[in-house]
Amino acid sequence: MMDMLEKLNVKKTGIFAAGVLFGTAGIKVLSSKDAKKVYVSCTAAVLRAKECIMRTVSIVQENAEDIYAEALEINEKRAAEETEFEDESEAADDFKETPVSQS
């Protein structure tokens, strides 16, 4: 029996016992009414933050859609102006005098 007690590592056993004790106490603390109030408050804060972020995201998304629409309008106007300019230059080419060769 003494051999068995001598082989028992007191330090490791003490650490294990302390871990079990703190684990049990931790479960009691985490499941208490006060802890539940803290969890509820933290969750409510996270939900408020989420709502604020979602409002900001929707504003940014609306602005991006407006920017995209305006960019499309600018490109359409530019394409129409280029087409108009090309039509005018082709019409001007039709009225140029062709040189007559003198033989």
Q: What is the pLDDT of residues 57-93, one digit of tens each?
A: 999 999 999 999 999 999 999 998 888 777 666 666 5
The whole model's pTM is what? 0.48
Buried b (16+ CB within 10 A) or exposed e, 54-76: eeeeeeeeeeeeeeeeeeeeeee
Q: What is the pLDDT of residues 19-33, one digit of tens each?
A: 888 788 878 877 888
pLDDT confidence bin for 97, thresholds 50/70/90: low
